[in-house]
Structure 1
Amino acid sequence: MPSNEQRRQAAKRKLERQLTRRAERAKRRRRIGVSVTIVLTLLVVGGVYYLVTRTGGEDAAAAANSTSPTPSSTPAGKTTEGPCKYAETPQEPAAKEAGLPDDPDPTPNSGTTQVTLKTDQGDIGLVLDRAKAPCTVQSMVHLAQKQYFDNTTCHRLTTSDVLKVLQCGDPTGQGSGGPGYVIPDENPTDLKPDATGQAVTYPRGVVAMANTGQPNSGGSQFFLVYGDSTLPPNYAVFGTVDQAGLGVLDKVAAAGSDNSRSEGDGAPKTPVHIQQATVLN
C-alpha cells in the first residue's frame, strides 16, 4: 500500500503533466492565431495592391495592363539620355501623343511646381514636389504642358476601408492608356509602415503615381488620396492636393462609386472631367 509521501509525489507528477499539456495547447492556439492574422493581413494588402495598378481590357485600372514583353518579340523604343531614362513603349502606344519629356542632367530635384486641374466639379490644386520624385514631376509637368490631361476623365473611385483614392490620367477613360513611355520608380521611403511591415499608409492629401505592378512601369496615371490608404510602398509620392481640391474629392467620394468592378470600386457616380491642367510655375 503506497505511503502518504508516495501519494503526494504521484499527485504532484500528475499535476505537472496536466500543466505541461495545458501550456502546450495554449502555445499551439497562439501559433495558429498569429498565422491566421498574418495570412489575412497579407491577403488584404495583396488585394489593395491589386486595386491601384493600371490595367488593360475589361479589368480597367485594377491589374497590370500587359505582361512583360520579351526582348525578341518587342521592338526597342527610344530612351532619353539623361538620368531619368524615360523609355518609349512601342508595344503600348500613347493614348494621346505628347512625346518624351526633357531629361536634363542633373534632374531638377528641389522646389515645388503648382498645377491646377480645372474640373467640372471644381478646381483641384496640386503642389508637385521635385525633391520627393524628380523624374516623376518632370514627366507630369511635361504632360500637363502638352495638354495631355486636358479633356480627360478620372475613371476610378475606390471607397473601401483601406483604399480611398480617385484615379485619373488616362485619356481613354478606361484605365488602360498611357503616354507611350515609362518613367523610373521613385518609391517613397518616409511613409509610416503598418503592423505587418508589408505596407505603408499613404496619407490623405498625397498624390501618387499608378503603375502596372511591374518595376519602372509608371506612365501618366496617378491617384489622389482623399483618405488614409494602406498600400505597399511601390507608388511614387510626388505631391499634395490643396484644401480646395480635397473639398472636391470629398464631394465626389461622398456620392460613391458605381461598383462596376467590385463593392466600393468603379467609376465615380459623380463624374470628374478634367477640362484643363495648367502649370502655374
Structure 2
Amino acid sequence: MTREQERAKARRRQEKLDAKAAQRAREAARNRQAAIVVVAVLIVVAGFVFLSKQLGSTTPPAAARSTAAATTPAATTSATTTAVAGCTAPPARPTTIKTQALPAKATAAGKTFIAVVKTNCGPITLRLDGTKAAQTVASFVALSTSGYYAGSPCHRVTTSGIFVLQCGDPLGGQGTGPGYSYGIENAPKNGVYPKGTLAMARTSDPHSNADQFFIVYKNTTLPTEGGGYSIFGTVTGGMDIVEKIAAAGASGGSGDGAPNAPISILSVAVTQKKA
C-alpha cells in the first residue's frame, strides 16, 4: 500500500469518527431540548395547580346566605374575642338543625308581632310587619316559637360599605337552613336600607330566603340585582347592643367576618300586637 493510499484510508477512518461524533452531538442536543420541554411543561402544570388551589381556597360555600349580592363570605371564628360591657359568655353553638315545614303565610298576613330577642348581650326588640311581608314574618315567628334560634350565634358583622349584623343560622353560617326556602317580599327598589331595618339574608337565588336575617345598624345601600332583600320589620329597642358589637369589629380586621365580640341568641319571645 502506497503512502498516498494510507493517507486516504486514514482520512476515511477520521471522517467516520467525525460523523459518529456529530451524530452523538445531535442526539445529545435533541435530548437536552426534550428535557427542557418536559421541565417547562411540569413548571406550567405545577403553577396551574397552585393557582387553582389558591383560587379554590377563597371560593365560598354555595349555600351560605349573604347580604351582599356578589359575595358570600364563609363564617369565621375569631381567634381572640373582645370583651364588651353587658355581654356574658355565649352558649355553646348547636350542632344540629331543627328542620320543619314552611308555615302558611296566612298565619301572619295583616298582623303585627313584637319579638324580644334575648341575647347574651341583652334584649333586642323587633316589630314584625306581617302586612308587608306575610311569608317572612310567618317563617320568623314559627322558627322563633319552635326554639330554632336558641343558642345560635350572630355569625357575621360588616363594618365597611354595608353595615349589618347577620344572625339566624344555628350552625353559625353553614347555610343548611331549616328545610325550606321562599321568595322575596317587600324589598326596596332603590336598595336603601335605613338604620334599624330588619331584613332577610339570602344567596344570589331570589328563592333562598329561610332562617338567616340581618339588622342594619347604619344606613346602608345594597344591590338590587336579583330582587333585593326582604324587609320584614324594624328594631324598636336594643340597637345600642348591635352598635357596640359592630364597634368591636370583625375577625381579622377585614370589615366582614365573625364579630370580635361574640353575640348569640338565647331565646326569642313573640307576641301578637293587638289592634
Structure 2 length-normalised TM: 0.62
Distance, in Å, in 1 between the alignment partners of 2:210 and 2:261 is 25
**Once superposed, what is the RMSD of the aligned Cα atoms?**
2.3
Among 181, 196, 201, the residue aligned to 2:192: 201
Computing the radius of gyration over CA atoms, which structure comes out larger, 1 or 2?
A: 2
Q: Determine the structure 2 residue equivalent to 1:101.
A: 102
Q: Determine the structure 2 residue equivalent to 1:269.
A: 260
Match of 2:141, SS state, is: helix
| One-letter amino acid matched to 2:198 | V
Distance, in Å, in 2 between the alignment partners of 1:228 and 1:167 is 15
Mapping for residues 94-133 of structure 1, pairs under 5 Å: 96-103=97-104, 106=106, 108-133=108-133
- Cα deviation code 1:169-191 (max 9, x no counterpart): 101113423111101221424x6
Q: Could you say which structure has the higher helix fraction? A: 2
Q: 1:102 to 1:266 in 2, by over 3 A?
A: closer
Distance, in Å, in 1 between the alignment partners of 2:271 and 2:265 is 16
Among 246, 249, 258, the residue aligned to 1:253: 246
Q: Determine the structure 1 residue equivalent to 2:159.
A: 159
**Contact 1:209-1:221 at 8 Å conserved across structures:** yes
Distance, in Å, in 1 between the alignment partners of 2:111 and 2:104 is 17
Q: Determine the structure 2 residue equivalent to 1:177.
A: 176
Structure 1's unaligned 5+ residue stretches are 1-46, 63-93, 194-199
- Cα deviation code 1:150-200 (max 9, x no counterpart): 01100000001x2000000101113423111101221424x6x3xxxxxx2
| Identity in percent | 41
Q: Determine the structure 1 residue equivalent to 2:203.
A: 212
Distance, in Å, in 1 between the alignment partners of 2:203 and 2:68 is 14
Match of 1:153, SS state, is: coil
Distance, in Å, in 1 between the alignment partners of 2:258 and 2:75 is 10
- Cα deviation code 1:66-86 (max 9, x no counterpart): xxxxxxxxxxxxxxxxxxxxx
Match of 2:98, SS state, is: coil
1:109: how far off? 2.5
Q: Determine the structure 2 residue equivalent to 1:239.
A: 233
1:144: how far off? 0.5
- Structure scoring higher RCO (CA < 8 A, sep ≥ 6) equals 2
| One-letter amino acid matched to 1:96 | I
Q: 1:224 to 1:267 in 2, by over 3 A?
A: same
Is 1:50 the counterpart of 2:62? The answer is no
Q: 1:110 to 1:177 in 2, by over 3 A?
A: same
Structure 2's unaligned 5+ residue stretches are 1-66, 77-94
Q: 1:175 to 1:204 in 2, by over 3 A?
A: farther
1:97: how far off? 1.6
Structure 1 length-normalised TM: 0.61
**Contact 1:171-1:177 at 8 Å conserved across structures:** no
Q: 1:61 to 1:184 in 2, by over 3 A?
A: farther
Distance, in Å, in 1 between the alignment partners of 2:109 and 2:122 is 30
Q: Determine the structure 1 residue equivalent to 2:167.
A: 168
Q: Determine the structure 1 residue equivalent to 2:218.
A: 227
Distance, in Å, in 1 between the alignment partners of 2:260 and 2:124 is 18
**Contact 1:95-1:179 at 8 Å conserved across structures:** no
